[in-house]
Amino acid sequence: MRMSVPSIAIVGSGPSGCYMAQTLRKAWPEAPITLFERLPVPYGLARYGVAPDHPGTKAITHQFARLFERENIRFCGNLEIGRDITLPALREHFDVVVLTLGLAGDTPLGIPGDTLPGILGAGRLTRLLNDHPEECESPPILGERVAIIGNGNVAIDLIRLLAKREDEFSGSDLSPQSLEWLRAQQVRQIEVIGRSPAAQAKCDTVMLRELSKLSGARFSLAPGAELGIAQQPAEQARLDALRELLEREQPAEGINVRLHFGKVPRQVLGQNSVERLRIAPSSGGEEQELMLDSLITAIGFNEHALQPLHRDSLYGDADLSCGRLDHGLYCAGWLRRGPRGTIPENRADARLVADAIIAAVNNDQLPLGKPGELALPAHALDYRAWQRIDRHEQQQAGSQRSRQKLRSRAAMLAVAHQQ
């Protein structure tokens, strides 16, 4: 006899995974659905990838919490699929498995010298400032002169975080340790290098206008740079925001932020670490060198090298247009379509893949009947353990912070096991 609903495992509890669970729960109110997460805590990108001074964006986690508290979605944390439990074992016990692992690796520059010490990715830096337990043990040293490669929203986030004064972090979840790290860097100069002309920069206008509120940053165009002419209304809005930023009354002192548009990096130079960056016009032309102490790449994300599950090694009867990797195995979010889009766009992507899963089940294309249960290692954590961590972090927050995150896996586990 055919079972009426599928058993579902979702690997990754970030926004894509939570939106997937939300959509599939609406389709099948009685289906057993489990979200697996390698960290002891849920929410992935929303917790560790959104800038710590954007609490409004992080507030989406309140919506996700209702999945576990009211919608009978099971959370299984501190358990990595591919290491603690194999993917074949998971597929043996669930009718449908959806991978929503995201992309945690920073895309390398791919130019000579791009492996020198002193180069770090924007993803790593954002996780560090969000107290990710795998980044806090060995924080980098930036020095006074920093270059950021890229002019999308991630690059704008980094400019803002590096240039903000201490009192401007009120209401954020930036920890005292991360604030102390920022202070210790003593950044004086930030060079921002973007391939696109100013009008076509990949950042949102609202993000540019937020930079205008910084009291400790002085913005200027690089010598010879021009804002250019807009061709579309969105481009005009971007140029207006840039002019507002450049023409505002600049503070008497602060971090100097110099904007390079239409430029690409050609070579990183240095003996034992980053010392200089050679850049050139995107269309070709004379090169110039910038003196640096560190370089941050903000040009995109890819699959992390240490991740045990890699999408392209899982292809069977694949159709990525609907997220299918094989019969009963799907992927969604950035893992499906690449590192593009915001958290709301991940919701649309989850719906697209969920619709394909629902159609496959309704059209009898997937056999049902697997139990949706399997033996878990003793170190696995449930949602109640996360709630203990959550309460602890909020209780430890000072008057100017929304929470103070636990910064190591050991500290998380100690609180999780308190009774």
Condensed to tens digits (0 to 9), the pLDDT of residues 18-60 reads 999 999 999 999 999 999 999 999 999 999 999 999 999 999 9
Residues flagged as binding site for NADP(+): 151-154, 341
Residues flagged as binding site for FAD: 16, 37, 45, 81, 334, 341-343
Query: What is the crossing angle of helices 343-362 and 15-27, to 10°?
Result: 40
Helix extents (H) in 3-86:
15-27, 44-48, 55-58, 60-70
Q: Give me the pLDDT at residue 294, please.
A: 98
The boundaries of every CATH 3.40.50.720 domain in the chain are 8-104+303-417
C-alpha span between 54 and 305 (Å, rounded): 28
The boundaries of every CATH 3.50.50.60 domain in the chain are 107-300
Torsion of the alpha carbons at 48, 49, 50 and 55, rounded to the nearest 10: -10
| pLDDT tens profile 153-174 | 999 999 999 999 999 998 899 9
Quote the tokens at residue 316: 């069977």
Residue 210 near residue 243, CB atoms below 8 Å: no
125 pLDDT higher than 70: yes
* Fold of the 8-104+303-417 domain: Rossmann fold (3.40.50)
Give the amino acid at 226: E
pLDDT bin (cut points 50, 70, 90) of residue 194 is very high
Taking residues 338-350, report their average pLDDT: 88
C-alpha span between 105 and 303 (Å, rounded): 5
Taking residues 358-364, report their average pLDDT: 95
Beta 96-99 vs 255-260: how paired, if at all? unpaired
CATH H-level superfamily of 107-300: FAD/NAD(P)-binding domain (3.50.50.60)
Residue 239 near residue 230, CB atoms below 8 Å: yes
Residue 293 near residue 309, CB atoms below 8 Å: no
C-alpha span between 146 and 98 (Å, rounded): 39
Q: Give me the pLDDT at residue 328, please.
A: 96
Q: What pTM value is reported for the model? A: 0.93
From 342, 340, 341, 393, select the one nearest 130 (Cα to Cα): 393
Residue 393, burial from CB neighbour count under 10 angstroms (0-12, 13-18, 19+): buried
Give the amino acid at 219: F
Residues flagged as binding site: 16, 37, 45, 81, 151-154, 334, 341-343
Residue with tokens 């970030």: 14
From 375, 346, 305, 389, select the one nearest 39 (Cα to Cα): 389
386: Cα separation from own chain's centroid: 21
| pLDDT tens profile 270-324 | 999 999 999 999 988 899 999 999 999 999 998 765 566 777 777 777 898 999 9
